[in-house]
Each structure stands twice: as structure tokens, then as C-alpha cells.
Amino acid sequence: MSIEMRTQYGQIDITNDVIAMIAGGAAVDCYGIVGMASKNQIKDGFTDILRKENFTRGVIVRQEAEEVHIDMYIIVSYGTKISEIAHNVQSKVKYTLDKTVGLAVDSVNIFVQGVRVTNP
């Protein structure tokens, strides 16, 4: 699937994988995020931390009518306030997608799949 945007110059098609990659990159840059988790935990192993090339496996992009929704599966660092991390990820993903692709995201849903202790 892809998201279609119409401009005065023509039509732009952006695949869901590109949107997922941008959203995953923005999320991992946030403080308190250890990494992305797989959305298919039974198939891929329970809360495996995904590498950069696999960000798309931890992000689901859904388009319903004219609305775009993003579901993100993350792993957070131990000792951080999970609600603040989730809010920061939501804000950064919305901002990044708006500035890089001009896409207004209606909702960013965060699913915390695990907590990891990181070495200082």
C-alpha cells in the first residue's frame, strides 16, 4: 500500500515502508528508547530489539479514508517515565513526518513491549 498526496504539481505516492522507516528513525532518536520491538512477537521472538534496517517491522502504518494512523512497538530504558517517553515519541514522529514528507498523521499509538536495563 502507499499513501497518495495530491499537490498543485501532480501526485506523490509514498509507500508505507518509507513512512515506517522515517517514523522508526524518529522514535529511536528520543531519550529513553532502547529500540524498536517486532509487532509479530510469536513469529520473531519475544521483544527482540530490531536493528536500524528493521525499523519497519516495529511500525504499522494504516490508512483509513483520509486519516493516517501509526502503531509503534518500542522497548524503553529502565528507570524512565514511560508516559513521558511515549508522549515524546508521539510528538517527534508527528513533527518529523510533517516536516520531511508533508504528511499529517492523525494518531501515533505507542505499545511498550519491554523494559531493558542499559549500562551507563
Which residue, among 84, 76, 86, 89, has the nearest Cα to 116 in the 3D structure?
Answer: 76
As given in the structure block, the three cell numbers for residue 94 are: 508527528
Residue 7 has pLDDT above 70, yes or no: yes
Of the ranges 49-53, 56-60, 70-74, which is most confident? 70-74
Q: Note the pLDDT of residue 114.
A: 87
Which residue, among 91, 47, 96, has the nearest Cα to 73 in the 3D structure?
Answer: 47
Domain that holds residue 32: 2-116
Query: Is the pTM higher than 0.85?
Result: no
Q: Note the pLDDT of residue 19.
A: 92
Q: What is the CATH number of the domain that holds 24?
A: 3.30.70.1350
Residue 28 has pLDDT above 60, yes or no: yes
